[in-house]
């Protein structure tokens, strides 16, 4: 089979195509012919800075993918050949709290990912694809969609009538916007592009802020919420935007931190003074993934895909990710 690996090289030059044997599924495992793989900023960082992220041998990147079951191992009862499935980001996290052991089962990092013609998943590390989605759409769900769901609904606690601040228009933020609209949650979305802000308004964003023309956007958020601040922030920027998010959230509100897109430092005084719940979110477990998928099916939500790139041109997908010009998700289609 053809598989991309993280090998020697600087930056994206480390991504190289290899010939590998098609793996065999062991007991309790399934072999999947991959049809699509969506990329996340994590994947770009893993390829570009592999050694600093603890990867010392060739590793197949990418956590997110969907495909068709080709073969099942001994003891597998949940799937059969021909089933359409989507992999779970963590192969060993079914439910409960995250642990060191479950973190070590993340695809495309500690273990091989899915940017290959075939991949092996644990039986408990996959779910049936939502029936209303294509392979390209379903491939976007394991990381970005589940992260958005966890940030906003599960640990974010937002419900109908809540107000959420969403930073940017990448995969997590756009999923959060779609989920918020379906749940009756008011949204305020930031971007540096008026064109992108117009698109999110069409998708149902309640209010938008261009952070280039309004650099003190936290004040505008307070104005839009009657001086109170939002109930929850989906914080994808990191330290560079966190101080503004702290000012934007209400007393006793929640900031779900998932991104490291910007550098900077943060003074924790306001977090303490406002009794803010600042929580790190690292995707979510399988049982949460299953619950989210049911909501996506019920509300007929389709992921927003900016561009689909051919497998042979995979590097172009990461270059687009690096540029920040995308809106929603970028997907690599398998042959």
Q: What percentage of the chain exceeds 70 in pLDDT?
A: 98
E-assigned strands of 57-197? Answer: 64-72, 84-87, 118-122, 126-128, 163-167, 186-191
Where does CATH 3.40.50.720 sit in the chain?
A: 156-280
pLDDT at 214: 98
Q: Tell me what the mean pLDDT of segment 150-169 comes to.
A: 97
* 8 Å CB contact between 205 and 164: no
Band of pLDDT at residue 294, cut at 50, 70 and 90: very high
In sequence order, the 6+-apart residues with CB closer than 8 A to the CB of 58 are 5, 6, 7, 18
Rounded to two decimals, the pTM is 0.95
Q: Tell me what the mean pLDDT of segment 1-17 comes to.
A: 93
Q: For the chain, percent helix, then strand, then coil, each to nearest 5?
A: 35, 30, 40
Q: Tell me what the mean pLDDT of segment 204-231 comes to.
A: 98
Pairwise CA distance, residues 174 & 167, whole Å: 9
In sequence order, the 6+-apart residues with CB closer than 8 A to the CB of 223 are none
Pairwise CA distance, residues 88 & 98, whole Å: 14
pLDDT in tens, 44-72: 999 998 888 878 789 999 999 999 999 99
Phi, psi of 226 (to 5 degrees): 65, 25
pLDDT at 160: 98
As a whole number, the mean pLDDT across the chain is 95
Tokens of 303: 């992921």
Quickly tell me which residue has 């009794």 as its tokens.
275
Fold for 2-145+283-333, please state it.
Quinone Oxidoreductase; Chain A, domain 1 (3.90.180)
Q: How far is CA 160 from CA 2, 183, 256, in A?
A: 46, 6, 18
pLDDT in tens, 264-276: 677 889 999 999 9
CATH code of domain 156-280? 3.40.50.720
């Amino acid at each position: 089979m053809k598989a991309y690996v993280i090998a020697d090289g600087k930056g994206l030059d480390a991504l190289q195509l290899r010939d590998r044997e098609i793996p065999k599924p062991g007991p309790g495992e399934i072999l999947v012919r991959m049809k699509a793989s969506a990329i996340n900023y994590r994947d770009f960082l893993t390829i570009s800075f592999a050694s600093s992220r603890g990867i010392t041998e060739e590793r197949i990147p990418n956590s997110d993918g969907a495909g068709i079951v080709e073969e099942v191992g001994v003891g597998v009862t949940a799937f059969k050949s021909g089933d359409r499935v989507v992999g779970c980001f963590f192969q060993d996290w079914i439910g409960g709290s995250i642990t060191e052991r479950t973190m070590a089962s993340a695809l495309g990092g500690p273990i091989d990912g899915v940017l290959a013609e075939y991949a092996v998943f644990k039986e408990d590390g996959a779910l049936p694809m939502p029936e209303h989605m294509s392979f390209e759409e379903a491939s976007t769900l394991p990381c970005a969609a589940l992260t958005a769901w966890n940030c906003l609904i599960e640990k974010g606690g937002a419900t109908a009538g809540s107000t959420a601040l969403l930073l940017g228009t990448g995969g997590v933020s756009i999923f959060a916007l779609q989920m918020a609209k379906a749940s009756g949650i008011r949204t305020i979305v930031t971007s540096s592009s008026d064109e992108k802000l117009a698109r999110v308004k069409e998708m149902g964003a309640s209010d938008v802020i261009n952070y280039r023309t309004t650099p003190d956007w936290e004040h505008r958020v307070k104005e839009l919420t009657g001086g109170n601040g939002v109930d929850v922030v989906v914080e994808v920027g990191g330290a560079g935007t966190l101080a503004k998010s702290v000012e934007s959230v209400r007393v006793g509100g929640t900031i779900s931190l998932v991104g490291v897109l910007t550098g900077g430092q943060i003074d924790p005084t306001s977090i303490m003074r406002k009794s803010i719940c600042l929580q790190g979110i690292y995707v979510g477990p399988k049982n949460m993934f299953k619950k989210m998928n049911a909501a996506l099916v019920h509300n007929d939500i389709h992921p927003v895909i900016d561009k689909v790139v051919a497998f042979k041109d995979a590097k172009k997908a990461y270059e687009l990710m690096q540029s920040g010009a995308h809106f929603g998700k970028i997907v690599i289609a398998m042959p």
